[in-house]
Structure 1
Amino acid sequence: MDTKTTEKTAASKTDEVDEAAEGTSTETAGAAEAAADAGTTEAAADAGATAGAVAAADAGTTPDAAADLLDETDDEQDEDELDDEAASPEATGIGAGGAAVVSAALSAVALTGTWTGKVVAERETLIGQIKTSGGGTPAQQINEIYGDAWHSTALVNGVFALLALVVAVLVLTLPRRPAWVRAVAVAGAVLGGLGLLLSVGTYFDLFLSLPTTGS
């Protein structure tokens, strides 16, 4: 009976030793897997850091350098916008200046007369001579030969004066015009208005009337 008890006790101890060995093996395997996982994580972190370093090296920039690059880009855009804004008034000034000079020239032509007005006047004179060549009263000859030529010249000069006045007013309504452009446009408007006034008065015989024959 003692022998059976001793055998049971020995078997129990053997089972405990086996269970302890299995637990130790399990813990060892778990520790090995945890170590492997930790190593993999560290390796992945190292690989990510290496990739970031390579990308930064390839880009050739750092965060500070990237910020500086953005600032430089913004400055260049601002300079381009300023250049565009500076170019627009210049282009406007050139066009307005040319129109102002044209207005002044047209007004001067309206006051001094034009080759076109002279040709029209001579044509009317010739027509009047043809109409009165077969006979006509002195009043008819004055009206056909002299009066029509006078009125035709006034009409042509009035057209030039009106064009000068219109162009000058348009220039004065433009924005961002330089001071000299405004001055020339004002001069063209004044001279054009004066030429238009003289042309209208001459056409309707307000300043000087046609000669009349004695009764």
Structure 2
Amino acid sequence: MDTKTTEKTAPDTGTEKAGAAAETATDEAGAAAETATDEAGAAAETATAADTADLLDEQDERDGDERDGDEPDDDGADSPEAASSGTTGIGAAAAALVSAGLSAVALTGTWTGKVVAERETLIGQIKTSGSGTPAQQISEIYGDAWHSTALVNGVFALIALLVAVLVLTLPRRPAWVRAVAVAGAVLGGLGLLLSLGTYFDLFLSLPTTGS
């Protein structure tokens, strides 16, 4: 009876050991699988983060290149040379218009010339009021007034001519500015010639008492 019991117990003990070994192997396999899965997931996350960082770096580089490519245009628009060119163009246009205006004034006469002429007339009347001869009266009252008017107009004409020549020597001037400057120079030169001729009595001489 004892022998049979022992024989029956021995197989059961072997089965239990085999089951325990199988369970241990299964647990180890599962742990290994979980570890491999975790490592694979971590590697995938690392690779994804690296790819994202690379993409962001590439995007930043492209944005930087685009900004660098746009900067020269802004710098060129705001550069001192561009500002200087714009200022020179505006100044040349204004000077050309001033020259044309002064030339017209020199040819038609100015309020300043009229005032100076009236002053010379008054001075001549005062000087010759008591004992002046007719020749002195003509010279003091009329001659000085005419010469003063010619002198004032000649000054305006000379200024107009100088401004026009200055505009013509400036670089980078538009065509219309050059045309206005040429017109101012021509009219200024003509006004200067007329003023000189009037001042020195080249066109019309003063009347005499015998005429």
Q: Under a length normalisation based on structure 1, what TM-score does the superposition of the two structures give? A: 0.68
1: distance between equivalents of 2:66 and 2:174?
Answer: 33
Cα distance in 2 for residues equivalent to 1:204 and 1:127: 21
Q: Which residue of 1 aligns with 2:188?
A: 192
Q: Which residue does 1:178 correspond to in 2?
A: 174
Alignment match, 2:30: none
Give 2:140's aligned residue: 144
How far does the alpha carbon of each residue in 1:110-146 deviate from its partner, in whole angstroms, 9 at most, with x for none? 0000000000000000100111101221111110000
Matched, 1:61 2:59: no
1:139-161, Cα deviation, whole Å (9 max, x unpaired): 11110000000000000001100
SS in 1 for 2:206: coil
Q: Hey, what's the Cα distance between the residues in 2 that align with 1:177 and 1:206?
A: 38
The offset of 1:213, in angstroms, is 1.6
Query: Which of the numbers 74, 77, 81 marks the counterpart of 1:80?
Result: 74
Q: Offset of 1:81 from its aligned partner?
A: 3.7
User: Contact 1:162–1:196 at 8 Å: present in 2 too?
Assistant: yes
Task: Give the aligned residue type for 2:72.
Answer: D
Q: Percent identity?
A: 77
**In structure 2, what is the equivalent of residue 41 of structure 1?**
none
Q: How many residues are treated as equivalent by the alignment?
A: 164
- Which whole-Å CA distance do the structure 2 matches of 1:142 and 1:176 have between them? 53
Q: Please, what is the CA RMSD of the aligned residues?
A: 2.5
Secondary structure at 2:56 match in 1: coil
Query: 1:92 Cα deviation (Å)?
Result: 2.4
Structure 1 residues 135-188: Cα deviation after superposition (integer angstroms, max 9, x where no partner): 221111110000000000000001100111111111111111111111101100
Q: 1:61 Cα shift?
A: 2.7
- 8 Å CA contact 1:96–1:171 kept in 2: the answer is yes
Gaps of 5+ in 2: 1-42
Q: CA deviation at 1:212?
A: 1.1
Bigger shift: 116-125 or 168-177?
168-177
Distance 1:186 1:104 in 2: 9
Paired AA for residue 75 in structure 1: G
Alpha-carbon displacement from aligned partner over 1:62-89 (angstroms, at most 9, x marks no partner) = 34x3442343123212212442466554
- The residue identity in structure 2 corresponding to 1:76 is D
8 Å CA contact 1:155–1:203 kept in 2: the answer is: yes
Q: Distance between the aligned counterparts of 1:163 and 1:77, measured in 2?
A: 44
State the partner residue of 1:164. 160
Q: What pairs up with 1:1-215 in 2 under 5 angstroms?
A: 53=50, 57=53, 61-63=56-58, 65-84=59-78, 88-214=84-210
* More off after superposition, 82-91 vs 190-199: 82-91
CA distance in structure 1 between the aligned counterparts of 2:165 and 2:88, rounded to whole angstroms: 16
**Counterpart contact for 1:117–1:152, Cα < 8 Å:** yes
1:11-66 alpha-carbon deviations (Å, 9 max, x no partner): xxxxxxxxxxxxxxxxxxxxxxxxxxxxxxxxxxx9xx99x949x74x97334x34
Does the 8 Å contact 1:106/1:164 carry over to 2?
yes
Question: Offset at 1:93?
Answer: 2.0
